[in-house]
Structure 1
Amino acid sequence: MILYPAIDLKDGQCVRLLKGDMEKATVFGDDPAAQARSFVEAGCEWLHLVDLNGAFAGRPVNGAAVEAILSAVNVPVQLGGGIRDMETIGGWLEKGLARVILGTVAVENPDLVREAARVFPGQVAVGLDARNGKVATRGWAEETDVEVTDLARQFEDAGIAAIIYTDINRDGAMQGPNIEATAALARAVSIPVIASGGVSSLDDLIALRDCGAGLNGAISGRALYDGALDLATALSTLKG
């Protein structure tokens, strides 16, 4: 199982939100590229980036910070937030992203997801962000009546690289991930699933790894910044 350190970008800074609330942002640094380098130096094999402003604006906002990270590291990087058309997808991949994450458009324009997965095989993931099992869009500000599993199954034959499943109520709360819901989703589809939201300790990672659903990976942010989770130790444990 791959551990993806998260760098959430707001106004060019590294932040973490509490349950997706932009008004409850904790700033952890003003040099995202330096943060990315420190994660790579600790041994991570992937980085997970989110353009928080972009998720609300519907277009890339923290592009300069993302490009600085891409220039600073040599590991694959995935990015979500404000990516809602083919031009933006292609532009980011040309700049060196390994994978783009499509969230809002997966609900509002699933045909775009299919087209992108066909044009850019292996480089398109779907971000399913849920509150109480229902998908939320546009920076988690808008709730839908769409069940997570129902939406995920729509992309079974689309060729997407992964599903990033975030339980919004757990995100940034340091209360542990929703293992039951994440495992249920992973068992419901053949698409690789990456867990996100609430990973706050080594025990959380081990529980996700050993849940029996064959999760592809887990994303952690606040726990790494707070020191509750040591990245080098976590990476070593997951490889062991």
Structure 2
Amino acid sequence: MDVSSRRTTGIAGIVFVALAVAIVILGGDADFSRDDAALEDFFVRDTRQAQAFTAVVLLPLAAAALLWFVAGIRSLLRAGDDGGGMLSSAAALGGGVFAATFLVGMTTSNAVSAAMAFTDAYQFDAGTARLTLILGIILTTASLAGAAVLVVATSLAGRRSGLLPTWFSRSGYVVAVLALFSVLLFAWPIALVGLWMLTLSIMLLRGPKTIPAEPPVQRADESPTRRGTGPEVSG
């Protein structure tokens, strides 16, 4: 993986984290246990509708940045593991795509406010609004399961090949386990996964001192004799 691709991957990771944080903030408090009056006030406020629309606009940008980041990580793992990282790179790609697919869960609850902003025909229903909040939590949990696979695969291959520091690889295992229990731990796993991605992105931007570039490939027709590494044997 060349320096330009590595840095582009790092930038994509930082962009994704920034957009994901913005989407979470714009989504507001997903408390579905509030009474119907409070719930309606939460969804119908003009400021809430504007926030919902902005979150929906940012969602595809965040998904695109995540997919670019995951593709770069896959390329990095394959290049740095001397051909033996096929399984890890495939797992990282699959986990990242799965996470991007269910990323929509972060904005599911915005559907009600966005619908009310676009048309007056939509009538607020507390039950439906409450369902969207619950569905958003479930889909976000699913996306974190994919993120856990991405983190573990990257940590395993990165440690085995020496591309990542040991402390960072080990921290990835902890982050992945916590991400699988996000339904019990609420926002903490989301924050930890974001911090892990941000740290890895910064490592990529720092360059070869942290993550070495891809080693040169020896040509099939290049022999030790031609490289001058051994004496020439005469008949």
Is the helix fraction higher in 1 or 2?
2
Q: Normalised by the size of structure 1, how large is the TM-score?
A: 0.23
Higher RCO, 1 vs 2 (CA within 8 Å, ≥6 residues apart): 2
Q: Normalised by the size of structure 2, how large is the TM-score?
A: 0.23
| Bigger Rg, which one | 2
